[in-house]
């Protein structure tokens, strides 16, 4: 009995210090001031919020609620499972492209932990879902939801879909690698809470991946997410 309790304490300690990883733990973000995370009911002036914040208020949309992950999570875990319909080198290459696309957002703001083993404990925040095509012909999709919990927002994702085109079966060349990586970077920005698209093809959040799109985040891409995480979570911008 004592032995079982010790085991339990040991497993719990591993979970607490190793996996939980909330703010203030080793390698995670510092804990934010409470007012930054308790923004439900707060009103913000769009003129102040929208200037110098990338495409946060793109298309003249300056009436929205701030919905993002709580900074007190400290870090984000992203599950990248094996691609069930690919094998060998192609499978490995596709996963590398997606991992690179996700890691482009490392520490912007969250330290990102990639979970890409064959098996997983269900501890991830965002999960990649592989697909060979979608009804709307999009190259990816991030489904984001949230709940209001008092003054706080609890964000959640129902998976981040990345389309793997059929030619990947025959191998992943450099262009396809860049394409998959670009799609992942774009969807990851949505998964971080950026709802809208950029009007500039130079940004990864342009609605289309152009033939010459470089898998790179622009200054504006970075600034938009940074601006989002500077706002009180749940606040209304008007
Ligand atoms: Zn998009």
Tell me the Cα Rg of the chain.
19
Residue whose token pair is 């995480």? 229
Distance 194 CA to ligand 1 centre (A): 9
Task: Please write the tens of the pLDDT for every residue from 191-211.
Answer: 999 988 999 999 999 998 876
Distance 25 CA to ligand 1 centre (A): 32
Residues in the chain, pLDDT under 50 = none
- What predicted TM-score, i.e. pTM, was given to this entire model? 0.90
Distance 207 CA to ligand 1 centre (A): 5
User: 3-class DSSP state for residue 125?
Assistant: coil
Give pLDDT, residue 98.
98
The shares of helix, strand and coil residues in the chain, as percent rounded to the nearest 5, are 35, 20, 45
Distance 205 CA to ligand 1 centre (A): 6
Give pLDDT, residue 176.
94
Give pLDDT, residue 60.
75
Give pLDDT, residue 13.
58
Distance 196 CA to ligand 1 centre (A): 7
Distance 225 CA to ligand 1 centre (A): 14
| Positions of E strands within the chain | 43-44, 64-65, 76-79, 112-115, 126-131, 140-149, 152-163, 236-237
Give pLDDT, residue 11.
60
Domain boundaries, the chain: 1-30, 32-237
Task: Please write the tens of the pLDDT for every residue from 62-91.
Answer: 899 999 999 999 999 999 999 999 999 999
* CATH number of the 32-237 domain: 3.40.390.10
Distance 106 CA to ligand 1 centre (A): 19
């Amino acid at each position: 009995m004592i032995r079982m309790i010790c085991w339990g304490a040991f497993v719990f300690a591993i979970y607490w210090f190793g996996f939980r990883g909330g703010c203030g733990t080793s390698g995670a973000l510092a804990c934010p001031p409470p007012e930054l995370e308790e923004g439900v009911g707060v009103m913000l002036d769009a003129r102040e919020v929208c200037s110098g914040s990338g495409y946060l208020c793109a298309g003249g949309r300056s009436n929205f609620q701030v919905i993002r992950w709580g900074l007190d999570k400290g870090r984000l875990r992203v599950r990248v499972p094996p691609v069930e319909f690919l094998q060998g080198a192609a499978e490995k290459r596709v996963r590398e492209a997606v991992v690179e696309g996700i890691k482009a957002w490392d520490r912007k703001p969250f330290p990102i932990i990639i979970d890409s083993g064959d098996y997983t404990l269900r501890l991830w925040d965002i999960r990649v879902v592989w697909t060979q095509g979608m009804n709307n012909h999009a190259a990816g999709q991030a489904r984001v939801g949230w709940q209001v919990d008092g003054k706080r927002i609890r964000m959640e994702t129902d998976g981040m879909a990345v389309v793997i085109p059929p030619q990947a079966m025959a191998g992943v060349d450099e262009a396809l690698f860049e394409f998959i990586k670009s799609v992942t970077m774009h969807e990851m920005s949505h998964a971080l809470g950026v709802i809208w698209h950029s009007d500039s093809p130079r940004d990864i959040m342009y609605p289309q991946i152009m033939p010459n799109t470089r898998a790179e985040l622009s200054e504006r891409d970075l600034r938009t997410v940074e601006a989002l995480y500077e706002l009180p979570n749940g606040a209304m911008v008007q």
